[in-house]
Chains A and B, each alone.
Chain A
Amino acid sequence: MRSVALKPRVWDIAVIAGVLLTALAIALLLLPQKADPVFVQIWQDGALLYELPLDTDTELTVGGKYENTVTIRGGAVCVSHATCPGGDCVRSGSIRDAGRGIVCLPNRLEIRLVGASGVDAVAK
């Protein structure tokens, strides 16, 4: 058996520090690219109704069989009010990352967050 110490040693701390520093360095290197704009797309019956920037606060109501009130606030979007029977879209809460979405099946409504990179869509 190759001998390896079973109790922590000084160099272990060096390894942990090295990993954390590497993480910090990569994070700093990638920082400028994190500003990808994210857009809110609102689809109904498979058609794109609106495309709005996520960083501009606004509120709008989408009609149809029922009504959904879509609120964009503080870089997040949610369905704040809906007249549909289930209310799943309201309970979905707020989303802020590209690739995420909120669906209201009764009103055939879909809210999608799209970004330039599309990383999140693939990772999921």
Chain B
Amino acid sequence: MNAVRKLTLTGVLTALALALGLLERALPLTAWIPLPGVKLGLSNIVTLFALCVLGTPYAAAILLLRAVLGSVFSGSITSLWYSLAGGALALGAMALGVRSKRLSVYGVSVLGAAAHSVGQIAAAAAVVGSVSILSYLPLLLVVSTATGALVGAAAAGVLGGWNALPKSLTGGVG
């Protein structure tokens, strides 16, 4: 894939991640599971896709852009730290998961969701200046196995569709 195609795809994926983030804010999972920080992690579909199709640096760029622009839209600076800490840890874990060659997109996604929970709680503990917030982590981790698997299924669908596209459309990558 040439540089222009990659740049374009990066822009489209960033917009998509932001849109998914807004969608998620409109349909909060916390309505069913009353735990602070619980969410589906829909924009992780984008991160997974970017990781597999564009590579780690592009996925990191999308993540950074999404976190910064997302906090501009929501007007919350603290949420920027949460999503940056969670997102960076999730990306790192997922990059390693893809590299391991042993996991499918499902396992990679669960790994990312769990790492996101850890990063988020760590950031929250730093912001609040108290480790007692750790008590939320076990339940968040349990929920993240379910949300991670769901997001993994969605990403598997998207990646399968991308692979089925003619090479002339996907720029010969996939």
Looking at chain A's contact residues, is the secondary structure mostly helix, strand, loop, or mixed? helix
Chain B residues contacting A24 (CB-CB under 8 Å) are 138
8 A Cβ contacts from A1-41 to B: 1-9, 11-12, 14-16, 19-20, 22-24, 26-27, 30, 33-34
A123 at the interface (CB under 8 A from B): yes
Chain A interface, number of residues (Cβ within 8 angstroms): 30
Contact B107 A22, beta carbon cutoff 8 Å: no
Seed contacts A11-B107, A33-B135; 9 additional CB < 8 Å A-B pairs: A1-B53, A3-B101, A6-B159, A9-B104, A15-B111, A19-B110, A19-B142, A26-B138, A26-B141
In the assembled complex, the Cα of A122 lies from the Cα of B132 at a distance in Å of 11
CB contact list, B96-114 vs A, under 8 A? 97-108, 110-111, 114
Asked whether A12 and B133 contact (CB < 8 A) given A23-B139, A124-B36, the answer is no
Give chain A residues whose Cβ lies under 8 Å from the Cβ of B132. 33, 117, 119
Assembled-state Cα–Cα distance A38/B6 (Å): 55
Of all chain B residues, the one with the shortest Cβ separation from A16 is: B145
Is the CB–CB distance between A34 and B135 below 8 Å? yes
Which residues of A sit under 8 angstroms from B159, Cβ to Cβ? 4, 6
* A-side contacts of B111, CB under 8 Å: 15, 19
| Residue numbers in A under 8 Å from B134 (CB-CB) | 26, 30
B138–A119 contact, CB under 8 A?
no
Residues of A within 8 A of B51 (CB): 2
Do A11 and B102 touch across chains, with their CB atoms under 8 A apart? Answer: yes
Q: Are A15 and B156 in contact (CB under 8 A)?
A: no
How far apart are the CA atoms of A8 and B98 in the complex, in Å? 13
**B133 touching A119, Cβ below 8 Å:** yes
Closest Cβ–Cβ distance, residue B174 to chain A (whole Å): 5
Chosen A-B contacts, 21 in total, with CB atoms closer than 8 Å, are A4-B103, A4-B104, A4-B108, A6-B104, A6-B160, A7-B156, A9-B102, A9-B103, A12-B103, A12-B104, A15-B97, A19-B114, A20-B145, A22-B114, A26-B138, A117-B132, A118-B130, A119-B130, A119-B132, A119-B135, A122-B130
Residues of B near A8 (CB, < 8 A) are 104, 106-107
Which residues of the partner chain B approach A2 to less than 8 Å between Cβ atoms?
51-52, 55, 98-99
Q: Assess whether A23 is in contact with B174, with CB atoms less than 8 Å apart.
A: no
**Does B14 touch A at the CB level, under 8 Å?**
no
Contact of A6 with B102 at beta-carbon distance under 8 Å, contacts A20-B142, A27-B138, A119-B133 already known? no
